[in-house]
Structure 1
Amino acid sequence: MGSIGVNESRPVGSYPPSGIDVLIVGTGLAGLTASIECVRKGHNVRVLERNATINTAAPPSFFKHWPEMSAEFDEISLHNAWIETFKHSGEQMIAPLLVSDRLRDAGLDPDTPPGTFQMRPLVYKMFVNQVQRLGVEVQFGKRVVDYFEDAETGRAGVVTDQGDRYDADIVIAADGERTHKHINSPPEAFEVRAMSSGRAMWRAAFPREYILKHPEVREFFKMAGPNEDQPIIRTWLGPGTYAMTLSRADTMIWIMNHDVTGSEEENWNHTVEADEVLTNMDKGVGPQPWAPIFKELIKLTPPETIINFELFWRNPQPSWASPGGRVIEIGDAAHSFLPASGNGATQAIEDAISIASCLQLCGGRENVAEAVRAHVRFRFVRNSCAQKLGFSNAELLQDTDWSKVKLDPRKAQPKLPSWVWGHDPEVYAHEHYAQCVASIRAGVPFDKDDSFPPNYPLATSTSPGASRPSWTTSAPGAPFS
Structure 2
Amino acid sequence: MDFKPLGSYPKTGINVLIVGQGLAGLTAALECVRKGHDVTLLERSPTYNSAGDMFFMGLSATRFLEHWPKLMEEYNSFSLSNAWLELRTHTGAVLGPPMPVTKIQAPGLNAGVPPGKFQMRPLIYRMLVDEAERIGVKTVYNARVVDYFEDENSAGAVTEDGTRYTADVVIAADGVGSKSQKIVGGQVRAQPSGRAMWRAAFPREVLDEHPEVKDFIPLKDGQPVVRTWVGPSTYAMTATQEDLIIWTMNHDVTGSESESWNDTIEAEEVVKEMDKLIGPLRWAPLLRELVKCTPSKSIVNFDLLWRDPQPTWSSTTGRVVQIGDAAHSYLPASASGGTQAIEDAVHLASCLQIGGSKENVPQSVDVHCYLRFIRNACAQKMGFANAELMQNTKLDEAKIDPQKARPRLAKWVYFHDPEAYAYENYEKAVSGIKQGIPQDENLEIEPNFPKGYRYDAWSIEDIQEDKKNGKPLNLGAGDWE
TM-score by length of 2: 0.89
* CA distance in structure 2 between the partners assigned to 1:257 and 1:352 by the alignment: 29
* CA distance in structure 2 between the partners assigned to 1:127 and 1:32 by the alignment: 6
Q: Using a 3 Å threshold, how does the CA distance of structure 1 residues 415 and 284 change in structure 2: closer, same or farther? A: farther
Q: Using a 3 Å threshold, how does the CA distance of structure 1 residues 284 and 150 change in structure 2: closer, same or farther? A: farther
Question: Is structure 2 residue 255 aligned with structure 1 residue 262?
Answer: yes
CA offsets 1:350-377 (integer angstroms, 9 cap, x no match)? 1011111011111321111111010001
CA contact (8 A) 2:105 2:114 kept: no
What is the letter of the counterpart of residue 274 of structure 2?
M
1:42 to 30, 36, 40: 36
Alignment map for 1:161-200 (pairs within 5 Å)? 161-179=160-178, 182-184=181-183, 187=185, 190-200=186-196
3-state SS of the aligned residue for 2:420?
helix
Q: Match of 1:390?
A: 383
CA contact (8 A) 1:205 1:252 kept: yes
Q: CA deviation at 1:139?
A: 1.7
Q: Using a 3 Å threshold, how does the CA distance of structure 1 residues 182 and 84 change in structure 2: closer, same or farther? A: closer
Q: Match of 2:216?
A: 220
Q: CA deviation at 1:24?
A: 1.0
Q: Match of 2:463?
A: none
CA contact (8 A) 2:106 2:114 kept: no
Q: Match of 2:403?
A: 410
Q: Match of 1:14?
A: 8
Q: CA deviation at 1:268?
A: 0.8
Q: Runs of 5+ in structure 2 lacking a partner?
A: 51-56, 459-481
1:345 to 338, 342, 347: 338
Question: Is structure 2 residue 48 aligned with structure 1 residue 54?
Answer: yes
* CA distance in structure 1 between the partners assigned to 2:366 and 2:290 by the alignment: 49
CA offsets 1:99-126 (integer angstroms, 9 cap, x no match)? 223x149997443343632211111111
CA offsets 1:20-48 (integer angstroms, 9 cap, x no match)? 11111111111111111111111121112
Q: CA deviation at 1:199?
A: 0.8
What is the letter of the counterpart of residue 192 of structure 2?
S
3-state SS of the aligned residue for 2:119?
coil
The CA RMSD over aligned residues, in Å, is 2.0
Q: Using a 3 Å threshold, how does the CA distance of structure 1 residues 71 and 220 change in structure 2: closer, same or farther? A: same
Report the count of equivalent residues: 450
Q: Using a 3 Å threshold, how does the CA distance of structure 1 residues 417 and 223 change in structure 2: closer, same or farther? A: same
* CA distance in structure 2 between the partners assigned to 1:37 and 1:274 by the alignment: 39
1:299 to 268, 292, 298: 292
CA contact (8 A) 2:187 2:312 kept: no
Q: Match of 2:429?
A: 436
CA contact (8 A) 1:113 1:421 kept: no
TM-score by length of 1: 0.89
Q: Runs of 5+ in structure 1 lacking a partner?
A: 462-466, 473-481
3-state SS of the aligned residue for 2:209?
coil
Q: CA deviation at 1:182?
A: 3.6
CA contact (8 A) 1:9 1:64 kept: no
3-state SS of the aligned residue for 2:356?
coil
CA offsets 1:64-88 (integer angstroms, 9 cap, x no match)? 1111111110111121211111110
CA contact (8 A) 1:183 1:322 kept: no
3-state SS of the aligned residue for 2:321?
strand
Q: Match of 1:234?
A: 227
Q: Using a 3 Å threshold, how does the CA distance of structure 1 residues 214 and 422 change in structure 2: closer, same or farther? A: same
* CA distance in structure 2 between the partners assigned to 1:367 and 1:16 by the alignment: 16
CA contact (8 A) 1:211 1:218 kept: yes
Q: Using a 3 Å threshold, how does the CA distance of structure 1 residues 284 and 446 change in structure 2: closer, same or farther? A: farther
CA contact (8 A) 1:22 1:170 kept: yes
3-state SS of the aligned residue for 1:193?
coil
Worse-matched range after superposition: 23-32 or 141-150: 141-150
Q: Match of 2:151?
A: 150
Q: Using a 3 Å threshold, how does the CA distance of structure 1 residues 442 and 305 change in structure 2: closer, same or farther? A: same
3-state SS of the aligned residue for 1:95?
coil
* CA distance in structure 1 between the partners assigned to 2:87 and 2:432 by the alignment: 49
* CA distance in structure 1 between the partners assigned to 2:109 and 2:394 by the alignment: 22
* CA distance in structure 1 between the partners assigned to 2:325 and 2:132 by the alignment: 20
CA contact (8 A) 2:148 2:180 kept: no
CA contact (8 A) 1:240 1:284 kept: no
CA contact (8 A) 2:363 2:430 kept: yes
